[in-house]
Amino acid sequence: MMRLALSALALCALTACTQFPELDQTVSPDLENADFPALIPLDPILAGTRTATRDNTQTQAVLEARVANLRARAAQIRGSVLTGRERQRLAEGLQ
């Protein structure tokens, strides 16, 4: 437990010695003198999101169609990859 605390303390001390990049004069004078962006109220934006409704019947139908499609694809993949003739050639080659 004491080793962990000392290790954490040493790590914190090492990170305090890092070099920070020079940030002075990184903002152009145009940006520095520019006006702040206009603030707009959030109520109209949030009101538009509250009025959006979902059609649960349509959503259910879309999901059921997707499930059926995925199950059909899984059934195709589940089948054998090799034909009977290919399996026979493979078995003869292994002997």
* Chain segment 78-90, per-residue pLDDT in tens: 877 788 888 888 8
Going by the DSSP 8-state scheme, the letter that residue 69 receives in this structure is: H
Residues 90 and 82: beta-carbon distance below 8 Å: yes
Instruction: List, for residues 35-79, the tens digit of each pLDDT value.
Output: 998 999 988 888 877 666 778 888 899 999 999 999 999 988 887
Distance separating alpha carbons of residues 11 and 3, to the nearest angstrom: 12
One DSSP character per residue, 15-44 reads: HTTPPPPP-TT-S-HHHHTSPPPPP--SHH
- C-alpha pair distances (Å), 44 with each of 17, 37, 39, 61, 62: 48, 18, 13, 32, 31
Q: What is the pLDDT of residue 29?
A: 85
* pTM (whole model) above 0.85: no
Q: Is the pLDDT of residue 3 over 70?
A: yes
